[in-house]
Amino acid sequence: MRFLGEAERHPPALRAVHWLTAGLVACLFATNWLREGSAHGSAIRKFWLQSHELAGCAVFGLTLLRLGLRLGLRKAGGTARPARMLHGVFYGFLLMLPVFGLLWALFGASAKIAFWTLPAPAARNPAVVDLASRIHSHVVAYVFLALIGIHGLAAAWHGLVRRDGVVRRMW
Ligand code: HEM
Ligand code: HEM
């Protein structure tokens, strides 16, 4: 395997943010499954929810940073149109899921978001919670997960079959 030179790879900041985001998204699903598997009302259930919220807020911040970086940095090589479209959809999920998760937490669950107690807890609002929980639901999150699976398979195809350097430039 030939290692690519720095000029042939995506800028280090974009690579770092890509893998950090991928790791945090894995944590988001893991913390959600761990929360669902723990006893209602227990301290550990609360801990998993708060960890989930914290990781979700970090994903939101990183995605804003990443979109800003993309405007200012030159990416390596070209990307096929279907992949560009899928990446665009990813950015949509990476922004939309945290916003509606935050609304769900703020207007439904508790005054404590990701280890911070809000200074003035927002009033519970069932209409906002209903909308936010529909959008921030298993169904939507699992569509996102399925697309991540397709993205991973496409990366495997590039890396193992085509061997065209698309994976190595993100490494
Ligand atoms: C990319 C980011 C995120 C992903 C992939 C994600 C994923 C999920 C999933 C799969 C569920 C279960 C949904 C269900 O029960 O139908 C969930 C629940 C939840 N998430 Fe997220 N989430 C993200 C970000 C956030 C953020 C930023 C917050 C808040 C700060 C948040 C707060 C919540 C809350 C409050 C619940 C409901 C917990 C309950 O049922 O009591 N999420 N999330
Ligand atoms: C939560 C998981 C993931 C998310 C949300 C995600 C998201 C993205 C996004 C948005 C891009 C486009 C970057 C840009 O042009 O700004 C991208 C590129 C890329 N991703 Fe992922 N990714 C994830 C996981 C993975 C995994 C597991 C792999 C490999 C096994 C992978 C391999 C790649 C590669 C090789 C590129 C570069 C494509 C190119 O240069 O045209 N990603 N990813």
pLDDT digits (tens, 9 = 90+) for 96-119: 999 999 988 888 756 677 777 766
Q: Which residues pair with 113 in a beta bridge?
A: 116
- Please give the biggest Cα pair distance in the chain: 58
User: How high is the pLDDT of residue 121?
Assistant: 57
Task: Report, as an integer, the average pLDDT of 23-51.
Answer: 95
CA of 68 to the centre of ligand 1 (A): 25
Q: For the segment 50-64, what is each residue's pLDDT rounded down to a tens digit?
A: 899 999 999 999 999
pLDDT at residue 75 in the model: 83
- 81 compared with 120, residue with greater pLDDT: 81
CB 29 within 8 Å of CB 94: no
**What confidence category does residue 73 fall into, taking pLDDT thresholds of 50, 70 and 90?**
confident
| Residue 108 CA to ligand 2 centre (angstroms) | 33
Note the ligand closest to the C-alpha atom of 81: 2
Question: How does 28-43 read in b/e, with b if 16+ C-beta sit within 10 Å?
Answer: bbebbebbeebeeeee
Question: How far apart, in whole angstroms, are the C-alpha atoms of residue 45 and residue 115?
Answer: 13
CB 142 within 8 A of CB 103: no
Condensed to tens digits (0 to 9), the pLDDT of residues 112-143 reads 777 777 665 567 788 999 999 999 999 999 99
C-alpha of residue 135 to centroid of ligand 1, in Å: 10
Residue 171 CA: nearest ligand 2 atom is: 35
7 DSSP 8-state letter: G
- Give residue 100's Cα distance to chain centre: 13
Q: Indicate the pTM of the whole model.
A: 0.93
Mean pLDDT of 43-56: 92
